[in-house]
Each structure stands twice: as structure tokens, then as C-alpha cells.
Amino acid sequence: MTIEKKIKQLRDTIERHNRLYYVEDTPEITDAEYDRLFRELQALEAEHPALRSADSPTQRVGAAPLSEFGEVRHRTPMLSIANAFDEDDVRAFDKRMRETLDVPEIDYAAEPKFDGLAVSLAYRGGILVQGATRGDGTLGEDVTANLRTVRSIPLKLKSSDESLEVRGEVLMYRRDFEALNERQRQAGQKEYVNPRNAAAGAIRQLDSRITASRRLRFFAYALISDTEAKTHSQALDRLEKLGFPVCEERAVVAGVEGLLKYYARIGRRREKLPYAIDGVVYKVNRLDWQERIGFVSRAPRFALAHKYPAEEQTTQVLGIEVQVGRTGALTPVARLKPVFVGGVTVTNATLHNEGELRRKDVRIGDTVVVRRAGDVIPEVVSVRTEARPSNATIFEMPAKCPVCGSAVVKNEDEAVHRCSGGLYCPAQRKQAVLHFASRRAMNIEGLGERLVDQLVEKDIVHTPADLYKLGAKELEDLERMGEKSAANLVAELERSRETTLERLIYALGIRNVGETTARDLARHFGDLGPLEKAAEEELLRVPDVGPVVARSIRQFFDEPHNRQVIRELVTRGVRWPKVAPAPRPSTPAKTFVLTGTLSGMSREEARAAIEARGHKVAGSVSKKTDFVVAGEDAGAKLERARALGVTILQEKEFTKMLQNL
């Protein structure tokens, strides 16, 4: 037998035993026998490095630590799912689905809702090439090296010509979690709160060797852009045939009664499952029906997560304080007499916002029912008013931020109070600086989360303007910042002083002002001065700026602390060219949607060309869309355009149209 064939045989044997142990839970050999096979493969690959490949089981052991994770943009957003907590919510969901589709009954795919970390896996030519976290749904973290260490994730598919994207959950079995905490106790180290935190923490380790030391599992729950499957259940069956672990508890059920029976059945088995779940997930089974039903905001309309009730206990409210979050939201928090709920001792519980606090009528001194919502976040559910003491105190929300003293604002359309000192408030400082430095804002490369943590915690940076006072010597004294790194960051800061108005507006972090709105504001006002002084009536004249956005902008510039930071930015050399007002189109503004890959220009260049002529670019196809520009590999947007009868432009037609717009 040749060395090449021997290596292949060992890889196949080891991966077979990985599958038997981690996927099928039916090991055939002892750990010692497995280790012998593994060491033999390692030795052969060391002797013949040219035969080592990315799909080898030896690549699951982890590699040297990374300095930071790369960024991954999901081709299809990883959306969250709306929650239901009672039978009425489920019946209302089924009614909406039937009415939308105009059918008497619907088949649903039902499966447990894993309590783990959602990830996306990309395969090219049957080989795992990239793994990413969900992140914010649009941008995730590149954790490929860590996911390679999860032995139930195939490094190589059974079919070598497969190119696909698989989504699923990384989690830790209860028994592996208990063993991990036992090791932590023996080592005198802090124990993990629950299996989800342990799994999520392992996947986000910069040192993949630590990830490899955890017994993590993976379950696939979605196959993206598959043309063969007609239903969600067929897609899961195909994933299983390709070698992915898929939950055995999945089922296809008919109608709302089928959903509720499935919920009850899994609920009875919940504590016996080897992994933690916090509910079940329902999805309309037919994929073409899913597409017809579509999405709302950041969630699919065709899916629902039906949560199980969380554990509840009673305790006493000792006080109510306000926490200021990284986005400026003020959250009233109940300080509780310690109580054991859902496996942990709880001393604080969220009251969410003033509206919830008033609705529940929570007062200092009350006896309250506390639960861990979603088995994670403690919250006050209700008050035992019959046990209320005579000296119970009503809590009032502060008029000034308890952290920075800026004005607290509350818009009529929002439930939360917010600190208006976004660029100044210490509670928002890290978030403000990170956003200011982000790629689509001032694009200050090298200014990552760990460095910002140090700059803020060491009291070096108070506002984004302080970044432009940093010197190389000051930076060199920080952890992981040598002479070269410090010099590079100083050069980046110098380069970023020259920016564009739209980038600067976006970098300020004004609530409800994203990149598109920042671009519209820059084109409308031409400079920051007029924008800073603009009344709400003038702001409403900007395309797509409504009352909520206009009010957010006005509140931001009304706060003196924010205006002071902007003045400091200018004093420290931040500059931008004035913008010529956008031309008014000779014809009514048209709405374009871009899909696929264009050969003559990037999507950003196409967007800029359309907007420069006074027209709009939307992210999804609707009846209001005028044109869909279809490049190579155009996907669901093209099909949607055909279904709605929207005019479709090939690249040549689009290029010609640009000349006449």
C-alpha cells in the first residue's frame, strides 16, 4: 500500500469514528485506540507534509492564536425568529399563514430550538472553506479555524462537487458541560453558567486549540440556496445524506393542532434530551410558500419559535437603579434579595423600561415573581400586591443621565428613555469609539475592541475626538501594541482625518441614521454646519427622513456635549470636502434593485451611479420597484421580480440606461 493510500485510509477511518462518537453516539473503539490511529496519521503527515490537506482530521486540533477575527458578510442574512409564549400566539401564527396562502391547512416542519450558537458553513467543491457566527445577522465573525475543531462538522462532504451553505447550531451536551465544569473546579477556575455560554465562548476563542479541547457538537438546521429540495424537511434529509448531523426529534406536522401536540411531546422529553433547548421552532414546510410569505424587518414571517415557560420564584425588591447601556438606553433594574432561579442565584432583574415598570406597578419593597426569560435573562414578571408593605416606594425615571448628566429623552414612538450624550457619555464611550472607527465610518484600521477597551478603561480616550491626540509612545505602553503597531495606528489616524461628509455623519452614531440616511443628509445639506442647525421641518425634506429620524437628529445636535465633541474633531484636524447638492431628476425618481454580480462595475459603484443621478436603490423587490438590474448568479430577487412583473435589466441595458437617466 502506498503512503498516499495509507493516509487516506487512516483519515477515512478516523472520520468514521468521529461520526460514530459525536453524531450517532455509538462508539466502536476506546479512546486509547482512537488516539493510536490519530498519532499514526499525525506521524505520516509530518513525514510527508505535501500530503497534508485542509480536510484531514489532524486539522481539528487547533492552531496558533489569532490576533482578531475577520469579518464575514452573509450572502443571505441570518435572521432571528419571532417568539411565541402561549397557545393563542401559535393559533394566530397559523391563521396568518393560512390567510396569506389562502389554503385550509398547512404542513409545518417542527424541530427543537437548540440553546447554542448559530453558525454558517460554506463549502466549495465539497470542502469546508469558511465558517462564521451570526453576528448582527448581516456581518459575522470568521471562526473557520475554530469550527474545524468541531468533530461533528464534516471537513469534506461525501459528494466532492458540492458547493453550498449550511446553517446550524454549535452546542455542548449536558454531560460534556458537567465534565468541563468539573475540570474547572479541580483547576480552581471559574465555572461556566450554562452549556450555551460555554459553547459560545469556545467558538469565539482566538486560540482554536482551546476550542478543540471542548467537546462541542453541531446540528444542521438549514440548507441555503438548494434547488433540489422542495420542502424544508427534504432539505434536512439531504443534509443528513451529505454527512451532517440533523436533529432526530424533527417532524412534519399538519395544522395548528399538530404544532401544539409536537410542542407538548417535546416538552415532556425536554429534560431527557442530551442537550438544552428553550423551545421548539415551526416553519412552513414548503419552500415556495416560504418565499411567498416573505420576511418582516429582521425575521421570517413563515417561522415561529414557541418558547417553554421559564422557571419562576418569588423574592423582594430591595431597590431600583438605572443602567445606561452602550446605545444610551436607560433600563430600570430591580436589586433583589438573592434567590435561586433556573440553576443560578439571581440578585438583579430587568424591568425593561418605564412602561413595563408602570404596567406591572413594581415598587421598592414589593414581593415579586422573578423568572429567567429564555432561561438566560432574569426579569420581574409580576407583583404580589397583597404582600405590599405600607412603605413601598414608587420609582421615578431620572431627567438627567446618571452617568454623564446629559438630558434624558423619550420619544413618543419608543418605550425606552435614552441618554442624549452619545459622543460624551462614559457608558456609551466604547460603543461610540468603536462605531466611529468602524470600516464604513472613519475606517481606522487596527482600532479594534480590545484596544478600545484599554483606551477607555485607562481613561485615555473620553470621546472619539481624543483619538486624534494619541501618540506612538502612549500607544506602545498598551498591551499587544509594539512599536510597529503603534506607528501603524498613528498613521491610520492621520489618514482618517481626511474623510467625506457622509462618512463623518455616519460615524457620529446618531440614532436611526444609517449609511444611506447619512448619504442623503450629506447630499441635501452639503456641509455639517447647516445640518447641525436644521429644524425638524427642514430635515423632513430629506428623502426617506421621517419624523422619528428627524427627531433623533435634532435631539443629538441639541445636546451641547455632542456639539463640543464635533468642535474638538475639527480642532484636531478632521476635515471633509463640501458636497454639491444632488441633482433633481428630470423624471420622477425611480427605484432600482441590484442582484447578482456585474462584470463592468461593483455593486457599490452601480449604487453610487444611480444615486448620483437622483434615483434610489432598494434592498428588496416589491411592487414599488421600477427596475431590477440582474448580473451573473442572480438569485431570489430575480425570481421575485419575474413574479411581480418588474422590469428586468441586463447589465448592457442598465449601462445604456445610466447614460440617459
pLDDT band at 570 (very low <50, low <70, confident <90, very high): very high
User: pLDDT-based confidence at 547, cuts 50/70/90?
Assistant: confident
Q: Residue 172 forms beta bridges with which residues?
A: 216
Give the predicted TM-score (pTM) of the model: 0.50
CA 399/CA 518 separation, integer angstroms: 29
SS3 of residue 252 by DSSP: strand
367 forms bridges with which residues in the sheet? 316
So what's the pLDDT on residue 295? 82
Domains of the chain: 3-60 (1.10.287.610), 83-307 (3.30.470.30), 312-387 (2.40.50.140), 415-582 (1.10.150.20), 591-660 (3.40.50.10190)
| pLDDT value of residue 271 | 79
| Residue of 8, 113, 473, 616 marked catalytic | 113
Give the residue, 214 or 309, on which the prediction is more confident. Answer: 214
Q: Cα 233–238–241 angle (5° rounding)? A: 130
Nearest Cα residue to 616 out of 641, 591, 637: 591
Whole-number Å distance between alpha carbons of 97 and 290:
10
Mean pLDDT of 589-606: 84
Q: What is the mean pLDDT of residues 292-310?
A: 84
Q: What's residue 42's pLDDT? A: 81
The reported pLDDT for the residue numbered 303 is 95
Burial class (CB in 10 A: 0-12, 13-18, 19+), 93: buried
113 is catalytic: yes
More confident residue, 246 or 76: 246
The more confidently predicted of residues 19 and 42 is: 42
Residue 1 pLDDT more than 70?
Answer: yes
> How confident is the prediction for the chain on average, in pLDDT?
87
DSSP string, 37-58: HHHHHHHHHHH-GGG--TTSGG
CB 123 within 8 A of CB 129: yes
